[in-house]
Structure 1
Amino acid sequence: MPEFGTVRYEMPSPQVARIVMNRPTARNAQNLQMTYDLNAAFDIAVQDDAVKVIVLAGADPHFSSGHDLRAGSKNEAGADFPSIGGWGGFREKGAHGRFAREQEIYLQITRRWRNLAKPTIAEVQGKCIAGGLMLAWACDLIVASDDAEFCDPVVTLGVCGVEWFVHPFELGPRKAKELLFTADSWSAQEAHRLGMVNHVVPRTDLTRFVQDLALRIAAKPAFALKMTKEAVNRAVDATGQQTAIDQAFALHQLCHAHNLQQFGTIIDPAGIPATVRKPAAE
């Protein structure tokens, strides 16, 4: 099996690849290392002709607490990681560098994962917060444990939601506004009621249920699966989703610029819990 610093690559069956975010002490918060490890793992699964379904999971106890905002988390601009998209300006200071960096590691890479040529299933347990929502939303199906919770508290930080802004498409406009305005955590059952989650199962059954679902999908012809995913994604794109995401991303950057002017930092420091402000132990 391939080895990564922050991700486990597993093959529970020859037709199913299971990619597991493996930073449990950081609640699987996504730093740059994990971003590129995930991308490399997805590449391996997509390029393996035997693999027909890809599962994205998180090492217990939580799926993902989002982007790693802790000081010293190796998630800061200028960290020594290669560019995957060549958008330029990645290391520059100011709005240009921030825009290019976030466009690559939050927006474009999520878009790439959403459009992978094979069906993907998010296996979600525990907390799924902010950037964790982006990871789950990039997948074709979401299966949640009965104790899973979903939250996008980014408005608390003075920004208009996470960069992959599909809230209105996942929840409908009114419930999207409620999730963002309140920054409340919503249960798996509520997410299922709203159509964001496909199935809710007991925590102890989660991995087995997802594996069974993946095998049922893997029994179908690979090309038909690819074309079906393409057809559905294009139907969603025709509604204007991609344009809406790009427009929201521009507003996201405007929020950063406003906060920088008001507080000297790109997010409102009043919204950052004290535990997050501490340096990361890595």
Structure 2
Amino acid sequence: MTGAEMRWIAMTYRTITLERLDAVARITLNRPERANAISAEMLDELAAAMDAVEADDAARVVVVRGAGAAFSSGFDLKDQMERRPTGVAEWRPILRKDFDVPMRFWRCPKPTIAAVRGACMAGACELALACDMTIASEDAYFGEPELKFGAGIVVMLLPWIVGPKIAKEIILTGEDRISAQRAREIGMVNRVVRAEDLDAAAMALARRIAVVDPMVVRETKRALNRQIEARGMLEALEAALDIDLGIEGQGSDDKRRFMDVAREHGLKAALAWRDARFEDPGR
């Protein structure tokens, strides 16, 4: 047994599962009772899982999916409610991790595939965008609702995927119900399949890629990524992260009010307060 294989066996996770199905490594976001909200602990475990996958030569392709009815609702707002970070110094390490872990799926030398059902929101949407390919079930929906409650965008990948005008409309309006079919039309999604076929479709695509010589796949992915990175994508993403750090570090009135409502009445009430403001913008 190789060292990489021993590391897979020795690993235990609380918020994700990691399994190798022949040449495919499959990561499952595993907090279905919280719609797989991405907590700080989940980010740490995703980073550890990606370390294991990248070290294992037998794993040639990565599939990431969510347990239960959703891919993920995004970064866990309850973490923020409990930790109450304020100022640039406290926000810097939080946003750094929020940025670096989703980007692992872009930077991974092995192809990455997101299999999305149900909600795929905010930071989770950015993780799916960072994957090389995304397959969505017919009931999947995507969104970047951060601005609706006074937060910024951590991983500003959307303009690089769909173009500036569509990205501005989605982000500046806080759009959070982009259907799977619409996501495919604008380039966020490669394929849309029936819900019951999602896992099989993702695995079939992964296994087809896994047949190809891994050196050729690795180097070709590097060349493909370079086509976009040469236009300044990585520098632009870092600049956008710095801007988001300023937004969170300063703190917006909308975000403070959202968090106040959430702490007093719960997250569902805060989301209702947020959405009500957009039902009647004159309020």
TM range, smaller chain: 0.7 to 0.9
The structure where helix makes up a greater share of residues is 2
CA separation in 2, counterparts of 1:209 and 1:14?
Answer: 16
**C-alpha spacing 1:94/1:159, structure 2 compared with 1 (3 Å):** closer
Residues of 2 paired with 1:231 and 1:244: CA distance? 19
Are 2:213 and 1:205 equivalent residues in the alignment? no
- Letter of the 2:52 partner, please give it: I
Alignment of 1:90-129 (within 5 A): 94-103=87-96, 105-129=97-121
Identify the residue that residue 211 of structure 2 maps to in structure 1: 219
Any stretches of 5+ residues in structure 1 without a counterpart?
Answer: 78-92
Does the 8 Å contact 2:91/2:248 carry over to 1?
no
Q: 1:228 to 1:209 in 2, by over 3 A?
A: same
Which residue of the partner structure matches residue 167 of structure 2? 176
Residue 164 of structure 1: SS of its match in structure 2? coil
In structure 1, the partner of 2:3 is none
Q: What is the Cα deviation at residue 7 of structure 1?
A: 0.7
Q: Is the 8 A contact 2:105 2:112 kept in 1?
A: no
Matched residue type, 1:38? L
SS in 2 for 1:210: helix
User: Which amino acid letter does the alignment assign opposite residue 57 of structure 1?
Assistant: R
Partner of 2:157: 166
Q: Does 1:16 align with 2:24?
A: yes
What amino acid maps onto 2:223 in structure 1?
A
1:156 aligns with 2:155: no
Task: Give the match for residue 253 of structure 1.
Answer: 245
- Deviations, residues 215-245 of structure 1 (Å, cap 9, x unaligned): 1000000001100111111111111111211
Taking the aligned partners of 2:103 and 2:215, their CA distance within structure 1 comes to: 21
4+ residue runs over 6 A deviation: 72-76
Deviation at 1:70, TM superposition (A): 1.4
Alignment of 1:8-87 (within 5 A): 8-11=17-20, 13-70=21-78
Matching residue of 1:86: none
Helix, strand or coil at the partner of 1:70: helix
Aligned length: 256
Unaligned runs of 5+ in 2: 1-8, 270-283
Distance (Å, rounded) in 2 between the aligned partners of 1:249 and 1:164: 7
Quick one: which of 8, 12, 17 aligns to 1:3?
Answer: 12
Take 1:111 and 1:47, find their aligned partners in 2: how far apart are those partners?
17
> Taking structure 1 as the reference length, what is the TM-score of the superposition?
0.84
RMSD: 2.1
Inter-partner Cα distance in structure 2 for 1:33 and 1:133: 19
Shift in Å at residue 152 of structure 1? 0.6
Structure 1 residues 8 and 71, CA, compared in 2 at 3 Å: closer, same or farther?
A: closer
| Cα drift, residue 177 of structure 1 | 0.9
In the alignment, which of 123, 131, 141 is matched to residue 123 of structure 2? 131
CA change 1:75–1:109 in 2 (3 A) is farther
1:71: how far off? Answer: 5.5
Paired residue secondary structure (2:104):
helix
Q: TM-score, normalised by structure 2?
A: 0.84
Q: Which residue of 2 aligns with 1:81?
A: none
- Write the distance in 1 (CA, Å) between the matches of 2:47 and 2:110: 14
Q: Which amino acid aligns with 2:229?
A: D
Over the matched positions of the two proteins, sequence identity in percent amounts to: 34
CA offsets, 1:28-76, max 9 Å, x none? Answer: 0011111111111111111111111010011011000001011587776
- 1:63–1:234 CA distance, 2 compared to 1 (3 A): same
Q: Separation in 1 of the partners of 2:142 and 2:206?
A: 23
| CA distance in 1: counterparts of 2:82 and 2:113, whole angstroms | 28
- SS of the equivalent of 2:239 reads helix
